[in-house]
Amino acid sequence: MEELHPGSENLAPLVGRIVAGDPSAEALLVQLFSRAVTFLLRRLTRDPSAAEDLYQETFRLVIEKVRAGELREPERLPGFVSGTARFLALGAARHGGRQRRRQGDPEAAETAPDPAPGQLARILAQERAAIVRRVLGELRNDRDREILARYYIADHDKEEICRDLNLSDLHFNRVLFRARQRYKELFERRQEAAAAQAPGSRPSPSPPTTAAAASGRQENE
């Protein structure tokens, strides 16, 4: 099935249908922005369960406001959705911060989110690290490993790395593309194995999509 994305839709009719009370339009809105909302909330909260709660709240609030006609420019719907998600995530973070500051309050302690990563998040991080180690081990030389380390860990700029290592943009892009591509393959293979062992289980967060390959190819071009 072709993947839905807001860019392929004419947003004005969609907003109009929601204002008119069309439930299928509301479902389509959720479908269109689900992936981006999930990504943003997880990035902001660093907590999959908190992101899941905010995910529901984000769409509830967006649909409520669109129904009420508060979105006057339909083409701004993507920004409206992302802004709502960010607003709620920051509000939740502020609320959690206040509760943590009131640690002497038993009621606050009961409702305050645990700042430590959950067990699922730790397991996912370990699996992710294991896959990255394998990717790094499969690289052909130390220089390619250095490229990845400087780019992703030391957060050096592409230009700086290419200059220091006397690399062309093409080589740099190729190293990153191949590493991400291999990571994606291994990640999807692990996902398939996990799904085979536990049918019906939910997929892990942030699986690389097939579009990632297209993105990598664009970099090489």
Partner 1 sequence: MTAMDHGYAEAHGVVKAYLGDRLGDSERDAFEAHYFACATCMAQLEAESDFREGMLDVAAQEAARAAADHARLGLLAGLARLSRARRLALGGALLLALAVPFALLLTANGDLRRELLAERTARVATPTPQTLQTPQNAGGDRRLGVERPGDTRQARAGAGGEAAEAGGPQVNLPLFTLAAVRGGEEAGREPVNRLPLLATTPSAVLDLELGAVDFPSYGAVLRDESGRAIWQARGLHPDGRDSLVLLFPTRMLPAGVYRLAIDGVKADGRETAVAVYPFRVVRP
Where along the sequence are the contacts to partner 1 (CB under 8 A)? 3, 5-8, 33, 35-37, 39-40, 43, 76, 78-79, 81-83, 86, 125-126, 128-129, 131-133, 136, 148-149, 151-153, 155, 157-158, 179-180, 183-184, 187, 206-212, 214-216, 218
Q: Nearer Cβ to partner 1, position 90 or 109?
A: 90
Amino acid 11 reads: L
- CA torsion sign for 39, 44, 47, 51 is negative
Q: Nearer Cβ to partner 1, position 15 or 112?
A: 15
Residue 221 to residue 219: CA distance in whole angstroms? 5
- Count of other CB atoms within 10 angstroms of residue 102: 13
Residue 162 to residue 147: CA distance in whole angstroms? 9
> How many residues belong to the chain?
221
**What is the nearest approach in angstroms of partner 1 to the Cβ of residue 5?**
4
Q: Nearer Cβ to partner 1, position 79 or 97?
A: 79
What are 143's two structure tokens? 């220089």
Q: Nearer Cβ to partner 1, position 99 or 150?
A: 150
**What is the nearest approach in angstroms of partner 1 to the Cβ of residue 6?**
4
Nearest in space to 205 (alpha carbons), one of 95, 60, 59, 49: 49
- Count of other CB atoms within 10 angstroms of residue 220: 12
**What is the nearest approach in angstroms of partner 1 to the Cβ of residue 109?**
28
**What is the nearest approach in angstroms of partner 1 to the Cβ of residue 92?**
17
**What is the nearest approach in angstroms of partner 1 to the Cβ of residue 36?**
4
Dump strand ranges (E) for 66-162.
none
Q: Nearer Cβ to partner 1, position 17 or 35?
A: 35
